Each structure stands twice: as C-alpha cells, then as structure tokens.
Chain A
C-alpha cells in the first residue's frame, strides 16, 4: 500500500525558538499584530508500507524529530 504522509515537527512548549522570534519581529515591524510565532518543520512524502502508523511513528522518533526537544504529529492518507 502507498500512503501520502505529512509530518509536522514542533519544538516543545517553553523551548525558545529563535527563528520564530526573528520572523515574528519582522512581521510586527511590518505592522501585523503577531504573537508567539514559531516555526515547525513539515515533511511530506509518499510511503510504501503495510503498517504506516508504526513506520511513521518510528521515523519521527529515529530521525525526523529529536524526542528530547520536539513533539510531532502526522496525517496519513491513502495515495
């Protein structure tokens, strides 16, 4: 089976996101009232797997995220 996967990796709550802070400041300088901007990472791919939930969870844990500082969520749909 082939699956369309989207993974979103976020820095854990409370951890400083310097890139987000800089982008947030830039938007505020443009006049927008932006608060708490953070920059998650998004990964999109096609996966061939008989057990996509298990594989994607494992991929997050082993490489896409660093479990010490990140949380992750994903969507999996048939492709």
Chain B
C-alpha cells in the first residue's frame, strides 16, 4: 500500500483534510509530527496552515527544522513531495524549490475560489490532467505572491487564469510573477502550490478538481 506522510508543524491546520484527500485518492496517509521520522514513507505532503504563526516570514521557521533534511533526502531519491500553501512557502524557504512567496500585492488575506490552468502535465501530480485544462480550487493566503528572478529555473505547473484559461492580470489574485500558482523542480517530483487541492477533493466541498493531484501522486508511486 502506498503510504504518504502528512507533516504537522506547530500551527499546521490542513492536515486532517489532506489525509482524507489522499485516502479518497486511493492511498494511505498518516499525520506525522515534525519531530518524528518520515524515512519509511513513499512520499510527503506538507499541508497548509500557519506554521510557527508565520513569524519572521511564512514558512521560514519550519523550513529550518530537522525533518526538512529527511524530506530533502526523500526528494533526492525521486519520491513525490507536495507542498500546499504554507507547505509551498516552507519548500521555498528550505531551498527545495526556487523562488519566494511575498505578501499579496493588495495586503490582505485572500480566501476565494480561483481558476487555474494546468500547464505542465509531466509531473506525478498533474499527469492525470489534460494539458491546458482549467480547474477550480480555493486559495486562502496572505503571502502567496510568488517571486522568482529567473522563471527558467522552475517548471511552471499551475497558472491563475480566467475560466476560459486566459492568463490575464485580472485573474491574478496576489500579484505572482507570470500568474504562477504552482511550480515544480526540474525533475518534477517536488511541487509547491498556493491553491488547496484538498479543499477541492469532494463534490460536497464544491469541486473535485483537486483530487487528481492526489490520485496522480498515489498512482505514480504505485506504478
């Protein structure tokens, strides 16, 4: 059985939902406290929330914890590592993904549904989507304004778009460079994304568009 670790830091708050989404996608998932080991897992998800109350910079303190070294080792073995929202902030702060998440262009907490265009379907998390597919997922963040000096250093996986898939300034909720909502490393096995696929993983929640992120990840390990 494919088994994922959902890492919990002080202040994480999307862990239970993420575990449920992975189970719904056909995998096994366990919440793992950041002081415990994740060596026996097939992959890792760092869920959303407010680790260490976002002190200093969102994700900065969590990114310097010992567990990140284990995550780095698993990533080097090619296992899938997914960071959602605060998890994305932690991955960039830890240097596992290039770039940085700055405060939103309009400085307030954003909580709303957005449209995303899936632009890279060659990752374990997105290969079940069609290239160019437009999906709906919610965002909930104050620091989601992705910045990178040289976009060729990452693989752009999700972009904020309108419902037809056009990448417009109006469709960019937070000021991210190139409307970037999610990026992967060059190998494709580390993905960070600001939108919450676990909050779009059941029709009860208003959308199932995020479920394929977890299904892809589970199936990819299984094969």
A61 and B20 alpha carbons, distance in the complex (Å): 38
Residues of B within 8 A of A64 (CB): 56
In the complex, the answer to whether A66 meets B57 with C-beta atoms within 8 Å is yes
Q: Is there contact, CB below 8 Å, between B100 and A68?
A: yes
By a CB distance below 8 angstroms, the chain B residues around A15 are: 102, 147
Given A15-B147, A22-B107, are A68 and B99 also a contact pair (CB < 8 Å)? yes
Per the bound structure, the CA–CA distance linking A15 and B64 in Å amounts to 25
Interchain CB contact under 8 A, A68 and B60:
no
Contacts of A22 in B (CB 8 A): 107
Q: Which residues in chain B, 89-135, are within 8 Å of chain A measured between CB atoms?
A: 93, 99-100, 102-107
The answer, yes or no, to whether A19 is at the interface (CB within 8 Å) is yes
Q: Which chain A residues lie closer than 8 Å to B93 at the CB level?
A: 66
Are A16 and B64 within 8 A (Cβ)?
Answer: no
Interface residues on B, range: 10 to 19
Name the interface residues of A60-74: CB closer than 8 Å to any CB of B: 62-64, 66, 68-69
Chain B nearest CB from A28 CB (Å) reads 16
Minimum distance in angstroms from B126 CB to a CB of chain A: 25
Query: Do A68 and B147 touch (CB < 8 A)?
Result: yes
B192 lies within 8 A of chain A by Cβ: no
A19 and B147 contacting across the interface, CB-CB below 8 Å: no
Min distance, Cβ B68 to any Cβ of chain A, angstroms = 13
Question: Within 8 Å of chain B (Cβ to Cβ): is A21?
Answer: yes
In the complex, B77 has a CB within 8 A of chain A: no
Interface residues of B, Cβ cutoff 8 Å to A? 56-57, 60, 64, 93, 99-100, 102-107, 145, 147-149, 175
A sample of 8 inter-chain contacts (CB < 8 A) reads A15-B102, A15-B147, A16-B175, A21-B107, A63-B60, A66-B60, A68-B149, A69-B147
